[in-house]
Structure 1
Amino acid sequence: MKNILKYIFFFVATTTLVSCDDYLDIKPVGKVIPETLTDYRAVLTKGYDVYPNHKSLTTVRGDELLLNEYNDDLIYFKDIYTWNDVNPDRITTTFQYADLYNTIFYTNVIINEASNKLEASTAKDQLIGEAYALRAMAYFDLVNLFSKPYNDATANADRGVPLALEIDLEHIYTPENVKVIYNQIISDTEEANKLLNVDAQAKGINYRFSKAALYTMESRIFLYQNEWSKSLAAAEKALALKSTLVDLNSTAVLANNYDTVESILALEDVFINRLKSASYASPTLTNVYDKTTDLRFSLYFEVSGSRFRFNKGGELYQKCSYRTSELYLTKAETSAHLNDLATAKTIVLSFIKNRYTLAGINNLTNSINAMSQTALLDFIALERQREFAVEGQRWFDLRRTTQKQITHTLNGEEYTLIKNDPRYTLPFPADARLNNPEL
């Protein structure tokens, strides 16, 4: 019965990639049960395709945007914006807990079945390696949405998320602790590392994992664990494969576009069009830019009356999960934490020369060279805020660092997320709790 349920569920919408020119152009395969490498590639393509756009919703909870009170789509986001997790309106967009497990389902098919059915080949290894990496990514997002930020002193006691490594639609899963989930994530990345054999994916299929994408993900995982040396080592491995930055002085293009030299993994729609049209950039965000010398400002924002709208997001070609800018800023941050200020400053200076006018670089160079460890870390944090605006990183950066107080105003009423507020961790969605009383 479990096998019947498994294949009925899984082949209702199995899809495959058919064109590199039409990014993520997908059509049905028409198979029933996977047998060949092509079949299993179609299965994993579906796993990629259903990866959710929850990063957009984290942006609503953070400090990067203002909701437009007169937009028709306000109703879908207002309870997220006001951190009303207890009794939100039924029409409120929910965080895609089940969708992340849907992706995990497809990866489990590859890991548990393709391994046994397919003949040995580099293509098989690449496929299974991608499945391990994608499963790690899904669990990493789950634990960073629905569990407390990683703290080595409490991770064995902090509630994590359910761990499903087998295909068993009848099993009721209970949450593991945060330490167990992180251990599984790292185990999956280690397995992926043994199998992946593509250094960097070609444009058009760069939604798939490569070695560069795996190492970039590892650097982020270890960064969130405050494992500075491990994060630095992973970032350096990724940079050895992919290190080019978009130079905004010569190329005025959004560096998060999937077809730029910076793209490493172009999987997620991190700022959906519905939200883009329903919001403005917050002064908290726009005020961190030097509007004269920072070349990102005019690229990222456009004037709308007395406010600014976002140019980033809302377009298929802007799918972005990992890009080289992150590697530079991770290397700088981890080096600074390790008190290697010379390396950290060198990396920061090599990064900003691609983001500021010559006058801006000249103004910043002496200042950066004179910075203490604390001042340098503060500057790097601001560069992350500036660089990754509405790319789904800000909420997670706040969770792992200051968990600062945020105030949102809606219809004349103020709502506050206090410093270290428990609402920096999301509750499991109501429908998930209803379906699984163990949550």
Structure 2
Amino acid sequence: MKMKDIYISLLAFTAMGAASCRKYVEVKQPNQREFIYVADFQRLLNNVSVFEVTSSLPLLSADDVEIGPNPNMERLLTNELKNIYTWAAEYYTSDQSDAGWDQLYKQVYTCNQVTANVMASDGTDALKRSAYAEAQMQRAATYLTLVNLYARPYNPATAATDPGLPLLLSPDLFVPLNRASVKQVYDQILLDINQALPLLPQVPSNNLHPGKAAGYALLARTYLYMGQFAEAADNAAKALAVQNTLLDLNEYVSGGKSYPRRLDNPEVIMNKKVSKPGTVTLPLSAELLNKFTPEDLRYALFTKDGSTFQPAFTGRGSFRDRMFANDGILAGLSVPETMLTAAEGLARTGKTADAMTLVNNLRKKRLATGKYVALTASGADEALRIVIDERRRELIGTGLRWFDQRRLSLESNMAETETRVFGGVTNTLQPGDRYVYPIPPKNIELNPELTQNQR
């Protein structure tokens, strides 16, 4: 069935039947059959172009990359990408759209179409409940990304009053777009996941669809971002009890085996991809590269010398998006990330030995044969530092580092001040400062009830 995209002032929606453009124009679509069967709604959830993608802009704002004072590289960034890279006060002009915002709210709208209508469709009760649960999981994953881009990091002391997002739970296009609090958004994320979990399959048909492991892993990521570390560790362990396969990178670095694509990768729990923003690969930061030792195979597999990229540059760049044409970069849930979430939760709750066991179990599959040496920690604080460094090495080039930077910026002993030179100007990102993406001015102008972030 052909589906057309229509745009309202806040969202870019996948339209079904008749829909109205708020403050723009009404659009009626002829020759569109109604969604009658549960299979119709499952086809919506099977739409890879909608649900496989997630925001790519954290690739630019995170401290994984650094252009340095390099005018030739600087000229390759468009104005909005430059703004994101330098943590500017505004990213877009009033006539520009934020593709990430539109894309993610399109996912929300499609999920809301399913949750609002699938239970009244023709089909078995089991199939209807399964589609409903999948829509809840996808909505929860999308809101977790949105709230960690456009709202302040979760702070238990202020989450109930910090402005979050328009929390849309139905496909009604004429609802107020006032921002729910950060706490309300997280409460809805947790509600959706917990309601969906009993109905998710033990093993999904493929990793584009959530199963039990994805439900627990998404809960673990959510609790980690909330700073509820015991809950993060507990749910990560439940996810790993369902899915725990790790690839041994020794089998791939020599070229003897082909590294698997995302859909075939047994480490992938729930598939989401990012595509490189713009057309240029940026150099990886010296700070990040210095965290690798020569025996770390992630350095060999997932980074390449700057001379291999166009345009060439000094240093090394992330190679994840070049491993397969059009395959993108995994930013969804994975076994390694979930292991490190569990390890961080254990380290923060004083279970140092258990945390280090998980870190070392991962590293056994990441270091060259014969070169592995177990890491040790004298206490919980040292174990936490090791886990955070391991997250940087393991999640290199995925953009997930930005979400770690946000939450760690609230902790005085973990927060860091970042600086970047661009166009001869030094840009500084202080702890607690501009870790929030601005809502596009275009959306605020068209919807006055939206308010801009205080950054």
Q: What code does the residue aligned with 1:258 have?
A: L
Gaps of 5+ in 2: 1-6, 19-30, 308-313, 410-414, 451-455
Corresponding residue for residue 279 of structure 1: 282
Where 1:414 maps in the other structure, the secondary structure is strand
1:435 aligns with 2:446: yes
Describe the superposition over 1:253-287 as per-residue Cα deviations: whole angstroms up to 9, x where unpaired: 6578332220111222x242735x34121212211
Cα distance 1:284–1:259, how it changes in 2: closer, same or farther (>3 A)? Answer: same
1:50 aligns with 2:62: no
1:342 aligns with 2:353: yes
Where 2:169 maps in the other structure, the secondary structure is coil
Corresponding residue for residue 22 of structure 1: none
Q: Please give the root-mean-square deviation of Cα atoms over the aligned residues, in Å.
A: 2.7
Cα distance 1:10–1:354, how it changes in 2: closer, same or farther (>3 A)? Answer: same
Which of 91, 105, 108 is matched with 1:101 structurally? 105
1:181 aligns with 2:191: no
Cα distance in 1, alignment partners of residues 97 and 423 from structure 2? 20
Name the % identity: 29
Which of 289, 292, 300 is matched with 1:289 structurally? 292
Q: Is the 8 A contact 1:107 1:132 kept in 2?
A: yes
Q: Is the 8 A contact 1:51 1:103 kept in 2?
A: yes
Gaps of 5+ in 1: 14-29
Which of 296, 303, 306 is matched with 1:304 structurally? 306
1:397 aligns with 2:416: no
Describe the superposition over 1:194-249 as per-residue Cα deviations: whole angstroms up to 9, x where unpaired: 321x22334xx421222211211111001111112211121111111110101112
- Number of matched pairs: 407
Cα distance in 2, alignment partners of residues 435 and 207 from structure 1? 34
Corresponding residue for residue 25 of structure 1: none
TM superposition shift of 1:168:
1.4
Greater CA drift, 164-173 or 375-384: 164-173
Q: What code does the residue aligned with 1:61 have?
A: S
Which of 360, 365, 386 is matched with 1:354 structurally? 365
TM superposition shift of 1:370:
4.2
Considering Cα pairs closer than 8 Å and 6+ residues apart, tell me whether 1 or 2 has the greater RCO: 2
1:243 aligns with 2:250: no
TM superposition shift of 1:139:
1.2
Cα distance in 1, alignment partners of residues 97 and 170 from structure 2? 29
TM superposition shift of 1:386:
0.6
Greater CA drift, 254-263 or 161-170: 254-263
Corresponding residue for residue 18 of structure 1: none
Matches of residues 212-251 of structure 1 in structure 2 within 5 Å?
A: 212-251=213-252
Q: What code does the residue aligned with 1:65 have?
A: V
Q: What code does the residue aligned with 1:345 have?
A: M
Corresponding residue for residue 210 of structure 1: 211
Cα distance in 1, alignment partners of residues 446 and 55 from structure 2? 24
Cα distance 1:93–1:69, how it changes in 2: closer, same or farther (>3 A)? Answer: farther
Q: Is the 8 A contact 2:303 2:318 kept in 1?
A: yes
Where 2:444 maps in the other structure, the secondary structure is helix
TM-score under structure 2 length normalisation = 0.82
Cα distance 1:303–1:385, how it changes in 2: closer, same or farther (>3 A)? Answer: same
Q: Is the 8 A contact 1:222 1:228 kept in 2?
A: yes
Where 1:66 maps in the other structure, the secondary structure is coil
Corresponding residue for residue 60 of structure 1: 60
Cα distance 1:435–1:164, how it changes in 2: closer, same or farther (>3 A)? Answer: same
Structure 1 or 2: more helix by fraction: 1
1:201 aligns with 2:213: no
Corresponding residue for residue 344 of structure 2: 333
Matches of residues 352-391 of structure 1 in structure 2 within 5 Å?
A: 352-362=363-373, 365=374, 368-391=375-398
Matches of residues 2-21 of structure 1 in structure 2 within 5 Å?
A: 10-11=15-16
Cα distance 1:333–1:128, how it changes in 2: closer, same or farther (>3 A)? Answer: same
Greater CA drift, 66-75 or 235-244: 66-75
1:420 aligns with 2:427: no
Where 1:380 maps in the other structure, the secondary structure is helix
